[in-house]
Amino acid sequence: MTRIAFIGLGNMGGGMAARLVGAGHEVTAFDLSAAALERAEARGCTPAASARDAVSGAEAVITMLPAGPHVRAVYAADILGVAPVGALLIDGSTIDVESARHVAGEAAAAGYVFADAPVSGGTAGAEAGTLAFMVGCEEAAFARIEALLAPMARAVLRAGDHGAGQAAKICNNMLLGISMIGACEAFALAERLGLEADRFFDIASKSSGQCWSLTSYSPWPGLVETAPSNRDYEGGFAVAMMLKDLKLAQAAAAASGASTPLGGQAEALYALWERQGNGGRDFSSMLQFLRGET
């Protein structure tokens, strides 16, 4: 049993914290949203009045926050110097590599072990404990990190030193953003051609078009039980979050001189869909955009 502070109990963090409770850990939780905190309490977490209260006395701290500025702010104000020195600090949010390295440096200077550990697998993976963690940390710290993340994971993979987890995540999500648009375009074209969606799904699932966006997260409703398309694209991975990741990828590509033209196109399409008021909907709602629904 480890005393864990969990900060950020949204679409992902809520399910992840519940997995840690289920594994027998003592989880103290904090979120700025009272509703999120209440849901975490109903799932066995102990609610804290503030992030500082949550982390004082914790042996490990896990953050699952929207973006880099949130992570930098929470670490500076509420974690470093507040959590007991030597505590294991893990950030599971998807943020820019520079922020991850900045927080790692500050954490090391203050006597903590830190890892950037963004995840893949979506809200269904968070609920089921089948996330893939991409970890950036010192090699010597990895075994301890892996053990703590295990109840939430089907895979915990070390990508390299600090920031490498975020680099892997940004590349993965650029691929995901592009492949989801591809799956949506294929469904939209199949419909125009008079091909039944379930027939196309069955065939492409066993053919070379098969990909995670199609077979694990189908944008067409009624084909994959856990997919947000069955819940009118509510919950899941928000368009605004995908757009954030694609912007991170494009910024990283510009800084490093990589060519990512499809990543750029994907960013432009999700930005248009967000501007039409769909930022909070699941990113597979791109299907509606391509079918001309607004």
Residues that bind ligand NAD (CB under 6 A): 7-13, 30-33, 36, 51, 64-66, 70, 74, 93-94, 119, 122-123, 236-237, 241
CB nearer to ligand NAD: pick between 122 and 148:
122
- Report the C-alpha gap between 21 and 282 in whole angstroms: 27
Which among 176, 168, 271, 243 is positioned nearest to 214, based on CA atoms?
176
CB nearer to ligand NAD: pick between 7 and 103:
7
CB nearer to ligand NAD: pick between 11 and 278:
11
CB nearer to ligand NAD: pick between 66 and 182:
66
CB nearer to ligand NAD: pick between 61 and 190:
61
Query: Could you tell me the smallest distance in angstroms from the CB atom of residue 207 to ligand NAD?
Result: 27
| Residue with token string 């005393």 | 3
Query: Which of these is catalytic: 169, 206, 244, 247?
Result: 169
- Report the C-alpha gap between 266 and 184 in whole angstroms: 12
Rg of the chain over CA atoms, in angstroms?
19
Query: Could you tell me the smallest distance in angstroms from the CB atom of residue 30 to ligand NAD?
Result: 6
Per-residue CA distances from 192 to 185, 195, 196 (Å): 11, 8, 10
Q: How many residues does the chain have?
A: 294
Query: Could you tell me the smallest distance in angstroms from the CB atom of residue 48 to ligand NAD?
Result: 10
Task: Give the residue nearest to ligand NAD (CB).
Answer: 10
Which among 269, 263, 65, 273 is positioned nearest to 172, based on CA atoms?
263
- Is 247 noted as a catalytic residue in this protein? no
Query: Could you tell me the smallest distance in angstroms from the CB atom of residue 75 to ligand NAD?
Result: 10
Query: Could you tell me the smallest distance in angstroms from the CB atom of residue 275 to ligand NAD?
Result: 19
Provide the 10 A C-beta neighbour count for residue 286: 28
Q: At what angle do helices 13-22 and 34-42 cross, to 10 degrees?
A: 20
Q: Which runs of consecutive H residues, i.e. helices, occur in the chain?
A: 13-22, 34-42, 51-55, 68-74, 97-109, 122-128, 142-149, 164-192, 197-205, 212-215, 239-256, 261-273, 286-290
Which residues form the catalytic set? 169
